[in-house]
Amino acid sequence: MSGRPDGEECLGDLGERQILEKVLRPRYAGVAGFGDDAAVLGVPIADRAGGELVATTDSCPTPLVTVLGEADLFHTGWLLVTINLSDLAAAGASPLGLVVNYTLPATTTVREFQRLLDGVDACVAEHGTRVVGGDLRDGGTMQLSATAIGQCLPDRRLGRAGASAGDRLLLIGQPGYLWAWAFVVAGRARLPEAQLRQVRDRAFRPTAQLTAGRVLAESGAVRATMDVSDGLFATVRTLCEANDLGARIDEDIRLDPAVESVCEQAGVRPFDLAQTWGDWSLVAAVPAGSVEAVIAALAAEAVPAREIGELAAAGGGYVLTGPGGERPWQGIAQERFSSSSWHGDGLDRMLSDLSRTG
């Protein structure tokens, strides 16, 4: 496209949130599930006893591990699958299949393409699903996307709307590993061999929280969910906006020992690694009286979860609470069509931002 027409806004002027509100919502607000992680397709005619079908589509950004020197396309293929299945997890859906789309330069070697496919196939197998189709074409740069189809439990589809003031927020998964690995590669932390392997494996092969999504849906107690794709702050803010609420978040958060060791060595607070993106956790809004039961149900499936705060009445904004009192939360987010959008070129900036907040 050519330059900016006089007086007209561009997408970069708006950022992702305002694009949603000003451009997309006026057109599609009436579509079932608009704004949720996965779109609603309805209930299959042949399966009236089943739940709704949902779909999501996502393109694969430049993986951080590639920027950190890992050239094997296996990990790019793995990430492509994870980011799509994570949206199904936020809907409480079980995956039925994945349709993949690959645009690759003609100079891509057969071995490179095979490794990309190896990563895709390994990740779908890990998550109990399969590739059911796709498209392959040539292009000047690599562009990867996929569409995941899933099915929810009857009348148990999860979404972003439905939360109330007083609901507790659960962070589900193992946050902090991807950027902990970045600090290790940058020479800001050292770990014993066993912990090094643990951090590397979690950073290179993030897991979509499909089991957690199913448990949350089965519980019947969860009022809203969202996957943490753009960072914890962006996730909580989006849930609040979907429900006209504020939030109070406890910044005294504990992470896994290996990640906390990296934080201590790098001079970064555990909370600041917890609020980064790239680990594909879930956030769920749960009534206060159901928190213990939901955490116990997740633990029974070996899914870690921690309470991180609560939703508050509208007008309260986003507040961090901790030993030092209360303060406004100006968190780390990866909003597309903005200066914080990740294109693989913001590593030094991100590490510096994390260090300044620590």
- Tell me how far apart the alpha carbons of residues 69 and 76 are, in angstroms, rounded to a whole number: 13
- Nearest Cα to Cα of residue 180 among 257, 243, 242, 106: 257
Cα–Cα distances in angstroms (integers) from residue 107 to residues 27, 112, 343, in the given order: 41, 10, 22
Q: 230: annotated binding-site residue?
A: yes
Q: 164: annotated binding-site residue?
A: no
Helix (H, G, I), strand (E, B) or coil at 113: helix
Residues in the chain: 358
Q: 229: annotated binding-site residue?
A: yes
Q: 4: annotated binding-site residue?
A: no
Q: Return the number of other C-beta atoms located less than 10 Å from residue 302's C-beta.
A: 7
Q: 160: annotated binding-site residue?
A: yes
Q: 141: annotated binding-site residue?
A: no
| 8 A C-beta contact, residue 300 and residue 357 | no
Q: 56: annotated binding-site residue?
A: yes
Q: 87: annotated binding-site residue?
A: yes
Relative to beta strand 131-138, strand 94-104 is parallel
Which residue type is seen at 305?
A
The tokens for 35 are 């704004």
Q: 150: annotated binding-site residue?
A: no
- Tell me how far apart the alpha carbons of residues 349 and 356 are, in angstroms, rounded to a whole number: 10
Q: 135: annotated binding-site residue?
A: yes
Q: What is the DSSP string of 50-62?
A: S--EEEEEEE---
- Tell me how far apart the alpha carbons of residues 344 and 183 are, in angstroms, rounded to a whole number: 16
Cα–Cα distances in angstroms (integers) from residue 252 to residues 274, 275, 279, in the given order: 11, 12, 19
Q: 137: annotated binding-site residue?
A: no
Annotated binding site: 37, 56-58, 87, 134-135, 160, 227, 229-230, 318
Residue ranges at the known binding site for Mg(2+)? 37, 56-58, 87, 135, 227, 230
Which residues are annotated binding-site positions for ATP? 134-135, 160, 229
Binding-site residue set for substrate: 318
